[in-house]
Amino acid sequence: MTVNTGAEIESREVHFRNCTLCEAMCGLRIESHGDEVISIKGDAEDPFSEGFICPKAVALQDLQNDPDRLRQPLRRTADGWEEISWSEALDYTAQRLIQVREEHGRNALGVYLGNPNVHDHGNTLFILPFLRALATRKRFSATSLDQLPHMLANLTMFGNQGLFPVPDIDRCDLFVCIGGNPLASNGSLMSAGGVERRLKAIRERGGKVITIDPRKAETAKVADEHIFIRPGTDVLLLLATIHTLFDEDLINLGHLSDIIDDVELLRLAGEAYPADRVAQATGVAAEDIRRLARALAQTRQAVLYGRMGVSVQRYGGLCVWLIYCINILTGHLDRRGGLMFTQPAIDLPAIGAMSGHKGHFDRYRSSVRGLPEFGGELPASTLAEEILTEGPEQIKAMVVVAGNPVLSSPNGGRLDEAFSSLEFMVSIDMYVTETSRHADIILPPAGPLQRSHIDIVFATLAVRNTVKYSPPLFAKEENELHDWEIFLELSRRLSSRDLRSSIEAEIKYKLLKRLGPDGLADIYLQLGPYGRDLPASERWSGYLEIALQALHPGHPLRQLWKQGPLSEENRDLPKGLSIKTLLQHPHGVDLGPLRPCLPQRLFTKDKRINLAPKIYLSDLSRVKALLSENMEEGLLLIGRRHVRSNNSWLHNSHRLVKGKNRCTLLMHPRDASRYGVRDGEDAEVRSRVGVVVLPVEVTEDMMPGVVSIPHGWGHKRSGVSWRTASEHGGVSVNDLTDELWVDPLSGNAALNGVPVTVKSAASRKDKRRRGETLTQDGSVAI
């Protein structure tokens, strides 16, 4: 036991910041002494999370202190990795990328951006100049493993890919959750620290929570009702809901009735799908579907919320569109307690629109399979073949930033092979991971507590408008760089070498470096709806114009700045936010509940919502086939999340991985006996693309015919640096998921609902324990 001296207690510092590990943005209270974290607790005074944290928060300390985390750039040599200096690493990386570009053209460079990029404002803001410097069409990201269908619906219906509607969970009386498990994930496209408390509050005020999921997941356990659904058939249930709404005269567009187009087309879309017709295929009783439609229509404050289970599957595009439509048809869009829009302090959708990035779809296609681009990115499911297929557009070099696609993309095994065939690869990552082990160079950023933080992405997805800025807790060492600095250094070195462009690049570099993410965030704050309410003449400086031009080239920003981009409708919002004012509010500033804001907030040209964009109507032709699919055969594989994991990269924290093995195959008892596997014993799971062996957990929580494996495991591949993670290896479910199994409309991966077979892989020991007689070759004698 150590006893604190009085002096030590006195020199302890208390620091407040948001947790950056998942979307919930929980407020943390971190006590430190010197450069040591002493404790991480929930910040009871955070206006958003009110003290809630989950067990992962402490991993920030583990990450900061992890001896396996890289502190210095690594270069591959014939005898393994060698540490090299930053200047050598950056020069070498740029030189190799330029070499590939000169030899094979700019589209020979591929980029993959992983999930943590959206959890840091430096990455989110400074990735743009880097992407511009790379200038390739071969961009990929975790978006197409995740929320792409939502972004497609945002773009086609609300006119801006970044304008997500968010459930007003704190004021609804009916919360219907289809394909989300916020108790494990802590909410997604619905940032809401402490979801359990919020769901319980719905029930306490007499409301109801219903989940629709092939697994009776953690959220189902705190709900009033759970309905099993066969994976991938949600589109039928949603069409039947629409059918019921029209059939029973339950349509009520409410205050949006003047701005909604093509309601009749939606009626026609649902016409062929009465509830009775879809009951068998979905496994949901017709009366349950009708009851659901009535409840949504007849509860004044209600919301239908859909997430991974409905977007990351074969009908993801259609599902998200139909979910938005159902909320609109029942009068719940932009209404208190319904599906609402945020008004964040840094208004990313508006900033995107300012620089001409409201989004686009299908402007070009991937070279091999012809899948559509979205917002300048191609689907991650097509990455391996874009590397492995010879041709003029073949990817020869990769830049991977904060991503681990070998574990997170479908058919990770093929990506493993693809990455090892590249001419050059650089990973910007702080570990030697299953992905970065293929790199020639690894560039590690400084630790998570050494940077400042202001949440700019998740504030646009939060169930309440709040904002917080935190300076770094620990100083960065002299020879450490942040991600954004790595981006800037590489962009500068990649710029074209003619005189004019290199002078321009040098000016941009100097300016952006001086401004940094905080300077930029400060401008966006002041430019935003809660910004400084100054006369236009006082707001402008030439310096800002150059900085903003560097980020949003070709746009008349001077004009926008003068007008105030969000002028009229935001007159009544509190004003005066800047980084300086936020520093006086370390727990964050509450900007109030979500407010109705349509039609002003729409980014469509005519400020109207088209309920029936053509792309969806044409995609409906795929749906009929679902009605006649054979439901008795085979098993469908779905994923799951656990509150102590985070995608592929928190398994190096001992306190998060210790205890019972979580990388197991969940299976219903009926299926277990049908396929001859037993609880605790190993099973072999096989799909078109691969096979894994893992322990079985038999549970009534699974729908018969459906099995589940969590993603992000499989750290047993050789050469990775995370020692604790590889001790708790598990298997990668993405060695089973199929890169050809996609939603053809959006190109999003279909990681849920993958057909698999299961058989026993019980060891001799297991079989002996059961008292079975073994033959010579290990099979069971009958």
Return the axis-axis angle of helices 275-282 and 286-298, rounded to nearest 10°: 120
By CB under 6 A, how many residues form the interface with ligand SF4? 12
Min dist. Cβ of residue 214 to Mo ion (A): 19
Min dist. Cβ of residue 711 to ligand SF4 (A): 17
Min dist. Cβ of residue 467 to ligand SF4 (A): 16
**Is residue 26 close enough to count as binding ligand SF4 by CB under 6 A?**
yes
Chain residues binding ligand MGD by CB under 6 A are 22-23, 114-116, 120, 142, 145-146, 178-182, 184-186, 188, 212-215, 217, 229, 231-232, 234, 307-310, 313, 401-405, 408, 428-431, 433, 445, 483, 638-643, 645-649, 711-712, 733-734, 737, 751-753
213 binds, among ligand SF4, ligand MGD, Mo ion, none (CB under 5 to 8 A by kind): ligand MGD
With residue 491 as reference, give the H or E element that holds it. Answer: helix 483-494
Binding segment for Mo ion (CB under 5 A), chosen from 146-154, 330-338, 364-372, 592-600, is 146-154
Min dist. Cβ of residue 174 to ligand MGD (A): 17
Q: Which is nearer to Mo ion, 146 or 377 (CB)?
A: 146
**Is residue 146 close enough to count as binding Mo ion by CB under 5 A?**
yes
Q: Which is nearer to ligand MGD, 59 or 525 (CB)?
A: 59
Q: Which is nearer to ligand MGD, 126 or 616 (CB)?
A: 126
Q: How many CB atoms lie within 10 A of CB 185?
A: 23
Min dist. Cβ of residue 58 to ligand SF4 (A): 9
304 binds, among ligand MGD, ligand SF4, Mo ion, none (CB under 5 to 8 A by kind): none
Alpha carbon distance 135, 97 (integer Å): 12
Per-residue contact string for residues 221-260; x = within reach of ligand SF4 by CB under 6 A: ----------------------------------------
Q: Which is nearer to Mo ion, 452 or 647 (CB)?
A: 647
Alpha carbon distance 319, 294 (integer Å): 19
Alpha carbon distance 448, 57 (integer Å): 12
Beta strands in 197-346 (DSSP E): 208-212, 225-227, 260-261, 302-306, 339-340
639 binds, among ligand SF4, Mo ion, ligand MGD, none (CB under 5 to 8 A by kind): ligand MGD
Alpha carbon distance 529, 341 (integer Å): 14
**Is residue 19 close enough to count as binding ligand SF4 by CB under 6 A?**
yes
Q: Tell me the residue nearest to Mo ion as measured from the CB.
A: 146
With residue 685 as reference, give the H or E element that holds it. Answer: strand 682-686
Task: Give yes or no for a contact between 61 and 49, defined as CB atoms under 8 angstroms apart.
Answer: no
Q: Which is nearer to ligand MGD, 40 or 589 (CB)?
A: 40
Q: What is the DSSP letter of 377?
A: B
Residue 709 to residues 34, 192, 467, 565, 757, Cα–Cα distance (Å): 42, 26, 36, 46, 13
193 binds, among ligand SF4, Mo ion, ligand MGD, none (CB under 5 to 8 A by kind): ligand SF4
Look at residues 97, 180, 150, 775 and name the one whose alpha carbon lies nearest to residue 496. 97
Strand-pair partners of 462: 191
Min dist. Cβ of residue 439 to ligand MGD (A): 11
Binding segment for ligand SF4 (CB under 6 A), chosen from 18-26, 142-150, 316-324, 393-401, is 18-26
Residue type for position 318: L
Binding segment for ligand SF4 (CB under 6 A), chosen from 17-25, 345-353, 443-451, 746-754, is 17-25
Residue corresponding to tokens 């792409």: 148
374: CB partners within 8 A, 6+ apart: 143, 144, 148, 151, 152, 161, 359, 360, 361, 362, 746, 747
**Is residue 334 close enough to count as binding Mo ion by CB under 5 A?**
no
CA-CA-CA-CA dihedral for 181, 186, 189, 190, to nearest 10 = 100
One residue of 16, 17, 21, 246 binding ligand SF4 per CB under 6 A: 21
3-state class (DSSP) for residue 19: coil
* Cα first-last separation, the chain: 60
Min dist. Cβ of residue 481 to ligand SF4 (A): 25
Binding segment for Mo ion (CB under 5 A), chosen from 14-22, 74-82, 143-151, 690-698, is 143-151
Stretch 147-206 residues interacting with ligand SF4 (CB under 6 A)? 186, 193
Token output for 19: 């947790």
**Is residue 22 close enough to count as binding ligand SF4 by CB under 6 A?**
yes
Alpha carbon distance 177, 199 (integer Å): 11
**Is residue 53 close enough to count as binding ligand SF4 by CB under 6 A?**
yes
**Is residue 23 close enough to count as binding Mo ion by CB under 5 A?**
no
Q: Which is nearer to ligand MGD, 350 or 623 (CB)?
A: 623
Residue 603 to residues 159, 163, 349, 353, 377, Cα–Cα distance (Å): 4, 9, 9, 8, 21
Look at residues 180, 225, 174, 176 and name the one whose alpha carbon lies nearest to residue 202. 174
Binding segment for ligand SF4 (CB under 6 A), chosen from 51-59, 172-180, 573-581, 679-687, is 51-59
**Nearest 5°: phi and psi at 521?**
-60, -40
Look at residues 588, 331, 305 and name the one whose alpha carbon lies nearest to residue 461. 305
Q: How many CB atoms lie within 10 A of CB 764?
A: 10
Look at residues 166, 81, 586 and name the one whose alpha carbon lies nearest to residue 341. 166
53 binds, among ligand SF4, ligand MGD, Mo ion, none (CB under 5 to 8 A by kind): ligand SF4
Binding segment for Mo ion (CB under 5 A), chosen from 141-149, 165-173, 260-268, 338-346, is 141-149
21 binds, among ligand MGD, ligand SF4, Mo ion, none (CB under 5 to 8 A by kind): ligand SF4
Q: Which is nearer to ligand MGD, 596 or 729 (CB)?
A: 729
Residue type for position 285: A
Min dist. Cβ of residue 651 to ligand SF4 (A): 14
531 binds, among ligand SF4, ligand MGD, Mo ion, none (CB under 5 to 8 A by kind): none
Q: Which is nearer to ligand SF4, 29 or 56 (CB)?
A: 56
Question: Starting from the edge strand earliest in sequence, which strands make up the sheet with 27-33, in order?
Answer: 13-18, 27-33, 36-42
Residue 635 to residues 248, 516, 666, 674, 778, Cα–Cα distance (Å): 36, 51, 12, 11, 26
Binding segment for ligand SF4 (CB under 6 A), chosen from 23-31, 512-520, 654-662, 686-694, is 23-31
List of residues contacting Mo ion (CB under 5 A): 146
List of residues contacting ligand SF4 (CB under 6 A): 19, 21-22, 24-26, 53-54, 56-57, 186, 193
